[in-house]
Amino acid sequence: MLSSSHPGPGRRLVAADGSPVVTVVLPREPESVPVARRIVRHTLADWRLPELVDAAELVVCELSANAVEHAGHAVFRVTLQRGPGDRVRVAVTDKSKAVPVLRPLDDEAEGGRGLALVAAVSSRWGTDPLAWGKHVWADLEPEPPGEPHPDSTAPTCATAKAQAVYLFIVVALGLLIAATVVSDAP
């Protein structure tokens, strides 16, 4: 059960376990993605968790963009919940029952990398099916300095942001090499 507290960007609530929650319903339009990112940034600043901002913004952008593209209803919900310690759950709920699938990266594909990025920067992520749609979430935790992300298959990077940047570079180089090979073909 959630109870309401003071107003601000997004609706501020308190979960039954006493943890703070911020939630907002946004229209299913591309302009809502930067709004969701701002809400995440402001909420994490309020919670004094600046080390999670980059990863949380990336997660909410990817999940919100998926809701904008695939959900069949006029709105979607973004929720942030602070858990034990400094763990934060970033979630997007929409009325589509289509479950997102983490696919292998394909150099030829124009999309399909969003969930790989979510997986790279989160300690865990998942989808909870609902009778009328789904709830896609990712848990974020500050990483102890110098320790690699536990689920990463990429070379050791000090932060989740560094891992995401590494992943972007690898994909971009793969696309560049593929384009060069195709253009040099007889």
What is the tens place of the pLDDT at every residue in 41-68? Answer: 999 999 999 999 999 999 999 999 999 9
Quote the CA–CA distance of 66 and 109 in Å, as a whole number: 16
Residue recorded with tokens 């009778």: 131
Euclidean distance between CA atoms 182 and 139, whole angstroms: 40
Band of the pLDDT at 2, cuts 50, 70, 90?
Answer: very low
pLDDT mean over 154-162 = 54
Provide mean pLDDT across the span 121-136. Answer: 93
Q: Which residues pair with 67 in a beta bridge?
A: none
Could you tell me if 125 and 62 are in contact, meaning their C-beta atoms sit under 8 angstroms apart? no
Domains of the chain as residue ranges with CATH: 3-184 (3.30.565.10)
Q: Looking at residues 128-150, what average pLDDT do you find?
A: 82
The mean pLDDT value for 8-27 works out to 84
Instruction: Read off the pLDDT of residues 63-112 as tens digits, 9 standing for 90 and up.
Output: 999 999 888 789 999 999 999 889 999 999 999 988 887 766 666 655 55
Are the C-beta atoms of 78 and 64 separated by less than 8 Å? Answer: yes
Mean pLDDT of 138-143: 91
pLDDT of residue 3: 39
Task: Write the DSSP symbol of residue 50.
Answer: G
For the cut 50, the answer to whether the pLDDT of residue 7 exceeds it is: no
Sign of the C-alpha dihedral, residues 162, 168, 172, 178?
Answer: positive
What is d(CA 77, CA 64) in angstroms, rounded to the nearest whole number? 9
Output the pTM of the full model: 0.71
